[in-house]
Amino acid sequence: MHDLFTQKTTIKPHGRIGQLRTRAGIVSTPTFMPDGTRGAVKSLTPQQVIETGVEVVLANTYHLHLNPGEETIKELGGLHSFANRSGPMLTDSGGFQVFSLGKHTKVSEQGVEFTDPKNGDKHFLTPEKSMQIQLDLGADMIVAFDHLIGLDSTTDDEVRDAFDRTHRWLRRCITEFKKLTKDMIGPEDKHYGTNVPNQRPLLFGVVQGGLDLNLRKESLRIIQESDVDGIAIGGLSVGETREEMTTVLEELAPLYDEARPRFLLGVGTPEDLKFAVENGIDMLDCVLPTRNARHGVVWGKNSEKVHLTNEKYKEDPSVIEEGCDCYACKEGFSRAFIRHQFKSGEPLAGTLASIHNLRHMVRLCEQYKGKNKT
């Protein structure tokens, strides 16, 4: 493997601190990535996102394909120009929508037919099409198209079927990715990540296998023997218990390839972030911190949940979290004021709460870089 990921030190028991080289710059890990589904984090400007310490923003391939379309975004200069963001961006594959829009999808070996629940339009997504869309969008890191299923009511046969299809689709993704990037500079080049034009994005393969630990280990082996730049852990936080999720992460932790970044998809509570980082994960993304914030739920001291709309905060002069250096806390916005904004239907409330929650998650990552090292 090329010199893509540089490990600086370790975090007990299986975690690490490092640097990931992308064409848009270096990402220090561990890192939390907010979801900017349609190209931007809801209610926040790109500058506000940067000021929380966020290094990577994730955008959604499926939704951007539907509107405004990858051709339009490409014509406007790609995601960075379109969204006015200079830092690294990552796109998912559309695989999550196979799960989240389950009753509106029809899976075949060729790909997935989606029926738009808003207007009934049909859209067909294949592994090849997912690669084409993500390359046209211009993300710096992209993800292979996988077959994601929920884990709360699936059979062993369904898990095995999705497992096998994910790896068949991975081979197709790699073939298409290589075809589309054959004339681009890769991470093996010494100039990669130094603003040299025509550099290719990084490709992550997705580990699946449900809660079957043997399948999970086999999937990780297949991914790590494939020609991909990074390892993505998918299919968690989709109906299983927290104990089941942590068991999977514990089992995989000693088996990761040290030379490649590891990305846990769709997991984003403070508690889960800590566990994931200590068990080998470098990157996490989730919509939860900002979604919760827009509904008045923030994290306070020791990551306790604070429901800002509660009556008890009506006259509370304290900030969300004492000692927090986010804009909302540093500038002295009180819980009483933010509650008032929520109750009045003012969007400022969601913005301030989102800034705080993102900074809280980023700060958790930053704290690892100064403690629990070996």
The residues carrying an active-site annotation are 92, 285
Beta carbons within 8 Å of 179's beta carbon, 6+ residues apart = none
Rounded CA separation 3/189 (Å): 9
Residue that the structure tokens 């500058």 belong to: 47
